Structure 1
Amino acid sequence: MTMSEHAGDSAERSSTSDLNVALRECMAALDLFLNNKFSDALASLQAKTKDSMYHALTYATILEMQAMMTFDPQDILNAGNTMKEAQAICQRMTKWTFCRFRKKSTVADSINNLVHRQSLEHFTEEEIHAEICYAECLLQRAALTFLQDENMVSFIKGGIKVRNSYQTYRELDSLIQSPHYVKGENHLHFEGGVKLGVGAFNLTLSMFPARILRLLEFVGFSGNKEHGLLQLQEGASSYSFRSVLCTMLLLCYHTFMTFVLGTGKGNVEEAERLLKPYLARYPKAVNRYEECCEAQQYWKQFHHMCYWELMWCFTYKRQWKMAFFYADLLSKENTWSKATYIYMKAAYLSMFGPDDCSPFGDSEAELFRIVPSLKLKIAGKSLPTEKFAIRKARRYLSSNPVPLPVPPLEMMYIWNGYAVIGKCPNLTEGMLETLNEAEEALARSSATELLADDRCVIKLLKGLCLKHLGKVSEAEDHFNYIYLNEKKIKYDHYLIPNALLELAILYLEQDRREEAIKLLEKAKQNYKNYSMETRTHFRIQAALHQAKSTPENGMHCGASAVS
């Protein structure tokens, strides 16, 4: 062996050793994080964030987890900036090897790669890890844009960066399938990264509404839901650096995305199976929101996430005073959307009995009136939920306001809460009782220009309760009532496409697929510029996927190699 070959071999061994140490230290930091030792986790990483790609990525990932769970604008901004710095680390010359973290190419190389893509098979182990870290930085930055802009306009505008991530994952997946690929010492961690990226892209892209999908497919994106779920499941089942992220994404899909952006067919059993080993390994990963607040005091924003969930739990149980209490806490402590929190405070006050009053002397009408003044923008965009709350609250700006009939129950629909209580007949029956009382009160009140809107709101919510209680014919009548009274609705135009959507889902459950598809296409094509439009389109897309039940063409492993 020549001196140069010996030096190169020594450098590669040193590089591999450093990679082993970095992965071991970063996994230890994730253990600290999952044991609620957030400050210790960040402190253990911080010293090496300027020199180690994995330390930089893990540090930024923990901040991103915080942002994902808190929705705090400052957390989102901090996570985005830190992830951008981590991305730069992957491209910077290291101080302790002879190679770059991530191979950079010149303009000429880029043009040449259009004809003949540079072979990843000649990369060192460290270099392919730099590639996966770089792609992950881009992927996580794209995820942050979803928090800032639910209709993904930012995602599309930043398409070049996202496409780079997407293409890198495709190439790295092809590398793993190649017969010439030689597995390094840290292959399991590398493969887990590929499964995370391929799975995340497939699953996310498959959920987009058709109008966004068409644009994404035009620039080369595609997604397959089943393949995405399989990749994430395989990534979650292996003990690797990214198995936690695969698990978290699956949990988010099964317990949140399928309810808020889907048809409410979440897989709670699968979520419990995924959680089981983590609950055993991390005994402080508690399963009650109150205990979660007691488990750590470092990041108060985690408390706010629990307050939000507790607010809805008490809403489902119609315990308006307790729901008001948590809405009040959020309005005072959290900055995500003061307008939404104050709106919810007023909404719960409106449900109090005649002898009840606010513990703080708040007036329902006064709270509703200040909601529009609290509007804010994150990254230049207004929050969809906030815009909905402001539109609903504007009726209180007049000197003689017309009260909203059941505002917390209407907001509960926006978050698809009826799919949650639908599994508990006693809760659903209680909610139906409250809606019947509201309908009777509306019938006794003086007629106003908003009467048709208010009647249709109650009809939509009653229809959902009736459906979950098995009263299918009555539910169908309630949804049809809204469509038949479309011309009478003055402001709440979101009710019509959503009534068609709910009727279609009802038909799907009766195996009336052709009728369901026609209604879904009508809801998708014939209505626009209404409240929560993008969220409705996500749900329409999910229902169409369920209705058509045909294999999608997306990123596949095996012979097609994510093509």
Structure 2
Amino acid sequence: MDSSIDLQTGIEQAGIALNLFLNNHYQEAKDRMAPWADRSMYHALSYGTIMYIQAVMTFDMTDIEAAIEVIKKAVVLCNRHRKKTSMIGSLSKMGTKVNYNDYTEVEIHAELCYAECLLIRALLTFVQDENLISFVKGGLKIRECYKCYKDCHKILQQRNWSDEKDKMHFESGVRMGIGAFNLMISLLPGKILKLLEFVGFSGNKKLGLSELQKGTELSHSLRGPLCSIILVAYHTVVSYVLGLADGDIDLASQLLKPCLQNYPKGALFLFFAGRVEEVRGNLDDAIMKFEESIDSQQEWRQFHHLCFWELMWCHCFKGDWLMGMKYAEKLCKESRWSKATYTYQKACFLMMCTDQSEDTANHINYLMGEIPKLKQRIAGKSLPIEKFALKKVTRYDEQNQRLTLPALELVYVWNGFSIIGQKQELLAPMLTILESTINDILSKPDSFQYYWDDYCLTLLMKGICLKYRKQPFQSEQCFKEVIAHEKDIKHDGYLVPYATVELALLYMSEGRIAEVSKLLEKAKKNYKGYQLESRLHFRIHAVRTQLNLVENGDVLPCTPPATPKDKASSMDFFTNDASTSQQAAVPSE
């Protein structure tokens, strides 16, 4: 390492850059790291991370390629500082215990930074190219990265540490890496999980949450804030998109408090604060926080898109479909993620508006006609939600420019009823719409070309609402009736497996565990090739994970951290001058 940038200076400079980033000074953070990225591994890692975030937010191939070049150089730089072992040394190491006290401080941090750079490089590989070889290369990089984290864990356990501050920074990185890996892998459906376990991966949700929790409790550490961000993101976003909407919102709120105290205008933390209020059903408070996040910075407008997405749903949950449509329109104009999805959302929300003038009808027809032209591929794959929208466009044309409650269907697909169900005043209007539609279908069956598809869709959503109304018997009857009409459904094949899992979730809330397992097995094995299949498999896996935890007597989410007055915040590294820290217990292998 260049003598002018020693290890401690590199860590301190990385902390300053992170502080700038969390305070919305993105370009300043980037400019601070760039000049030394070819000489200091912490500068290289920080610069590469910022470039990576920019790339995945824009999905611009120029940004992706630039980020790859930066992170490639960071990998080479970190590898240059890792412990060198000859071939003879490697063979002898296999039979003897490695003495990690022989590693210098630079070498152990190089191992950690190397692992983090490899992970970013692998993730960029997946985004860059649709070629299968790229996916294989990415997988191999993640495997090597995972092995490095395991080695870092051994270093943490077995090394005699003379400098507690140095140990603190290293430990927070190990906790973050092992925690994030375990949590990420534990979310994956069984088929993918078995493949990963075959090549040496394993995932333990409880361990992942525990490790990240310990990372947040390491005062003044470099990666402590990142552990907090990952945990908050998991509990407020990931568990709602890929899981059972069972995130620990109280824990997320506690973790956010010191973050918001230290960064009151931090766009990312204001976004998560809005998300906490949203999943609690406090939509007006959520809208205020998302708008605050937007107003807090103009440097990276990509951050605004996260808030536009949530604002769109907040207004839809309130029944303000026109405002929801306006935010979908903003996303369509500015975001590069999926213009087909945004356009379909615009059309669906307009269909819910009471003012159905001729101009509105013509605009809906125009939007539906544009959707097939906007389909794209990301990482070589068509987005499942775009495929879903395209099939609905076909149905729209077949049914003489009509769909049954497509906006509410999108609310269900994005797990929005788990939020609406938190407040009866939000749920009641939705239930009224559903019951009115069911009556309409029953009274005028000849008006519905795909009668059973429309009826079962509406009945499924009514069952969800009744579950949140604490009417389990009526809810159960709705789900069972959908399942009973499996052979009558022509197009919406996803309804029956989804209703089966909803019935399993209802039974799980009632403690009917044996029946839950049978329904999950049925949903997984009896239905193939339907729309949004992978999304349901994530939910099935989440239910099974929860069942295993209940059977083992484990309690999740993990216990909340100590309050700020009892334990210093991990954010204090950027706001205080304290040099000592309270060490978290190191987990066993």
TM-score range normalised by the length of the shorter chain: 0.7 to 0.9
CA deviation digits over 1:332-379, x for unaligned, max 9? 1111101001000111111111455778x8621221122122111122
Q: Aligned to 2:45, what secondary structure does the other structure show? A: helix
Tell me, yes or no, if the aligned pair for 2:241 and 2:414 is still in contact at 8 Å: yes
Q: Aligned to 2:48, what secondary structure does the other structure show? A: helix
1:266 aligned to 2:247? yes
2:490 matched residue in structure 1: 490
> Cα 1:107–1:316, aligned 2, differ >3 Å: closer, same or farther?
farther
Which structure has more RCO (C-alpha within 8 Å, separation ≥ 6)?
A: 2
Q: Distance in 1 between matches of 2:525 and 2:61?
A: 34
Tell me, yes or no, if the aligned pair for 2:479 and 2:503 is still in contact at 8 Å: yes
Q: Distance in 2 between matches of 1:377 and 1:145?
A: 15
Q: Distance in 2 between matches of 1:108 and 1:484?
A: 67
Q: Which amino acid in 1 is paired with 2:8?
A: N
Q: Distance in 1 between matches of 2:128 and 2:468?
A: 33
1:42 aligned to 2:30? yes
1:297 matched residue in structure 2: 298
Determine which of 173, 176, 197 is the counterpart of 1:193: 173
Percent sequence identity is: 44
Q: Which amino acid in 2 is paired with 1:160?
A: L
Tell me, yes or no, if the aligned pair for 2:448 and 2:454 is still in contact at 8 Å: no
Q: Over aligned residue pairs, what C-alpha RMSD do you find?
A: 3.0
Tell me, yes or no, if the aligned pair for 1:175 and 1:181 is still in contact at 8 Å: no
1:229 matched residue in structure 2: 209
Q: Distance in 2 between matches of 1:149 and 1:486?
A: 39
Report the Cα offset of residue 310 of structure 1: 0.4
1:169 matched residue in structure 2: 149
Report the Cα offset of residue 441 of structure 1: 3.2
Report the Cα offset of residue 140 of structure 1: 3.2
> Cα 1:374–1:514, aligned 2, differ >3 Å: closer, same or farther?
same
Q: Distance in 2 between matches of 1:541 and 1:246?
A: 24
1:464 aligned to 2:464? yes
Q: Aligned to 1:186, what secondary structure does the other structure show? A: helix
Q: Which amino acid in 2 is paired with 1:257?
A: V
Matches within 5 A, 1:251-262: 251-262=232-243
1:244 aligned to 2:225? yes
> Cα 1:297–1:307, aligned 2, differ >3 Å: closer, same or farther?
same
> Cα 1:351–1:372, aligned 2, differ >3 Å: closer, same or farther?
same
Q: Aligned to 1:541, what secondary structure does the other structure show? A: helix
Report the Cα offset of residue 190 of structure 1: 0.7
Tell me, yes or no, if the aligned pair for 1:102 and 1:127 is still in contact at 8 Å: yes
Q: Distance in 1 between matches of 2:455 and 2:474?
A: 16
Q: Aligned to 2:36, what secondary structure does the other structure show? A: coil
> Cα 1:283–1:50, aligned 2, differ >3 Å: closer, same or farther?
same
Matches within 5 A, 1:265-284: 265-284=246-265
1:514 aligned to 2:514? yes
Tell me, yes or no, if the aligned pair for 1:89 and 1:101 is still in contact at 8 Å: yes
Q: Aligned to 1:470, what secondary structure does the other structure show? A: coil
CA deviation digits over 1:63-101, x for unaligned, max 9? 33445666677655554553333222212xxxxxxxx32
> Cα 1:232–1:149, aligned 2, differ >3 Å: closer, same or farther?
farther
Q: Distance in 1 between matches of 2:456 and 2:52?
A: 40
> Cα 1:268–1:242, aligned 2, differ >3 Å: closer, same or farther?
same
Q: Distance in 1 between matches of 2:200 and 2:14?
A: 34
> Cα 1:262–1:224, aligned 2, differ >3 Å: closer, same or farther?
same
Q: Aligned to 2:319, what secondary structure does the other structure show? A: coil
Tell me, yes or no, if the aligned pair for 2:453 and 2:491 is still in contact at 8 Å: yes
> Cα 1:278–1:335, aligned 2, differ >3 Å: closer, same or farther?
same
Tell me, yes or no, if the aligned pair for 1:449 and 1:490 is still in contact at 8 Å: no
Q: Distance in 2 between matches of 1:435 and 1:74?
A: 46
Tell me, yes or no, if the aligned pair for 1:136 and 1:165 is still in contact at 8 Å: yes
Report the Cα offset of residue 104 of structure 1: 5.2
1:95 matched residue in structure 2: none
Tell me, yes or no, if the aligned pair for 1:173 and 1:561 is still in contact at 8 Å: no
> Cα 1:182–1:291, aligned 2, differ >3 Å: closer, same or farther?
same
Determine which of 182, 190, 196 is the counterpart of 1:202: 182
1:401 aligned to 2:395? no
Unmatched 5+ stretches in structure 2: 274-288, 555-583
Tell me, yes or no, if the aligned pair for 1:149 and 1:383 is still in contact at 8 Å: no
Determine which of 190, 204, 218 is the counterpart of 2:198: 218
1:57 aligned to 2:45? yes
Q: Which amino acid in 2 is paired with 1:89?
A: L
1:387 aligned to 2:367? no
- Larger CA deviation: 401-410 vs 18-27: 401-410
CA deviation digits over 1:372-419, x for unaligned, max 9? 221111221122222222222222345x53521111211122211111
Q: Aligned to 1:50, what secondary structure does the other structure show? A: coil
Unmatched 5+ stretches in structure 1: 1-10, 92-99
Report the Cα offset of residue 155 of structure 1: 6.2
Q: Which amino acid in 2 is paired with 1:170?
A: K
> Cα 1:244–1:430, aligned 2, differ >3 Å: closer, same or farther?
same
- Larger CA deviation: 17-26 vs 497-506: 17-26
1:4 matched residue in structure 2: none
Determine which of 109, 128, 136 is the counterpart of 1:129: 109
Q: Which amino acid in 2 is paired with 1:246?
A: C
Q: Distance in 2 between matches of 1:153 and 1:276?
A: 44
- Larger CA deviation: 528-537 vs 174-183: 174-183
CA deviation digits over 1:31-54, x for unaligned, max 9? 111111111111111111121111
Q: Distance in 1 between matches of 2:55 and 2:217?
A: 25
> Cα 1:439–1:144, aligned 2, differ >3 Å: closer, same or farther?
farther
Report the Cα offset of residue 187 of structure 1: 1.6
Tell me, yes or no, if the aligned pair for 2:479 and 2:499 is still in contact at 8 Å: yes
Q: Distance in 2 between matches of 1:264 and 1:153?
A: 35
> Cα 1:402–1:355, aligned 2, differ >3 Å: closer, same or farther?
closer
1:436 aligned to 2:435? yes
Report the Cα offset of residue 144 of structure 1: 5.3
Report the Cα offset of residue 517 of structure 1: 1.1
2:564 matched residue in structure 1: none
